[in-house]
């Protein structure tokens, strides 16, 4: 089977400082894949590179064995919630309908089918009752669910999500997790930047472990080991002194919150 994502010798620098350095990996289709690493390790930059939102210094990315431009309609991107202007005067339903627009067709009139798909996406994230509400009036978890609904409305094959669980309430986390399971069953590929070591093994089939360079990429059981966690996180996390024992016990009550990749 052809891979979903191929990253070859990818280097990205901001102000001549490398954020990603010579990254090389291949990811399968139809899996839930987590991207882990400490603050500044390049996780968000990796997603932006895959989406063509930042220019690499070297290397390239292929999606479904093709270029981004050739398959862009099959790719959906959910950015970090704090990067969005939530004061923009738009309703929940209008946000989700944005997922039905395509590049080069922004002025086309949305069809009845577009509206049906948007309403279906809202129902899947449990936000139908909030359809007419202004997006700024929602809680953080509800806003995140709306952005996931917008992504679902695109009916993509590959979903890139930057910290969809950050700052969400328990109900929203449960709703997003349920959706991820449904997406996997439907053969979709989901790549998620994630900070919670406690839930990484539970949520993901594959992991990409970064610290500017690639530490490891592969099935979760092969990547999520004491040695590789130490290689990725080094001394940046005070909880690392507890990781060795917890890895053996498969118990990870650890959270690393509020980090971003860009300098």
CA 220/CA 210 separation, integer angstroms: 14
Residue-wise pLDDT for 75-98, tens only, equals 999 888 777 777 778 999 999 999
Q: Looking at per-residue confidence, does 153 or 250 come out higher?
A: 153
Most distant pair of Cα atoms in the chain: their distance: 58
**pLDDT band at 110, cuts 50/70/90?**
confident
Q: Tokens for 29? A: 């289709």
pTM of the model: 0.85
Q: Give the DSSP letter of residue 105.
A: -
CA 65/CA 61 separation, integer angstroms: 9
Weakest-pLDDT range from 13-22, 81-90, 178-187, 191-200: 81-90
Q: Looking at per-residue confidence, does 242 or 72 come out higher?
A: 72
Q: Which domains does the chain have, with CATH numbers?
A: 5-249 (3.40.50.300)
State mean pLDDT over 151-160.
94
**% of the chain at pLDDT higher than 90:** 59
pLDDT of residue 185: 94
pLDDT of residue 223: 96
């Amino acid at each position: 089977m052809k891979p979903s994502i191929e990253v070859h010798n990818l280097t990205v620098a901001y102000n001549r400082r490398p954020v990603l350095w010579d990254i090389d990996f291949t990811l399968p289709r139809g899996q839930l894949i987590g991207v882990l690493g400490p603050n500044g390790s390049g996780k968000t930059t990796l997603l932006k590179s895959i989406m063509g939102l930042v220019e690499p210094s070297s290397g390239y990315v292929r999606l479904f064995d093709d270029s981004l431009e050739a398959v862009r309609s099959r790719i959906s991107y959910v950015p970090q919630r704090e990067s969005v202007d939530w004061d923009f005067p738009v309703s929940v339903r209008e946000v989700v309908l944005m997922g039905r627009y395509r590049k080069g067709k922004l002025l086309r009139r949305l069809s009845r089918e577009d509206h049906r798909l948007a309403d279906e996406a809202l129902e899947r994230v449990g936000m139908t009752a909030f359809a007419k509400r202004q997006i700024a009036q929602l809680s953080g978890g509800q806003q995140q669910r709306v952005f996931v609904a917008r992504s679902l409305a695109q009916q993509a094959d590959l979903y890139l999500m930057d910290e969809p669980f950050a700052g969400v309430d328990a109900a929203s986390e449960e709703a997003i997790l349920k959706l991820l399971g449904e997406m996997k069953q439907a053969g979709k590929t989901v790549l998620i930047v994630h900070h919670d070591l406690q839930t990484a093994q539970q949520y993901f089939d594959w992991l990409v472990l970064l610290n500017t360079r690639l530490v490891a990429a592969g099935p979760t059981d092969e990547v999520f080991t004491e040695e590789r966690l130490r290689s990725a996180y080094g001394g940046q996390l005070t909880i690392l002194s507890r990781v060795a024992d917890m890895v053996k016990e498969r118990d990870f009550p650890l959270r690393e919150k509020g980090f971003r990749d860009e300098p």
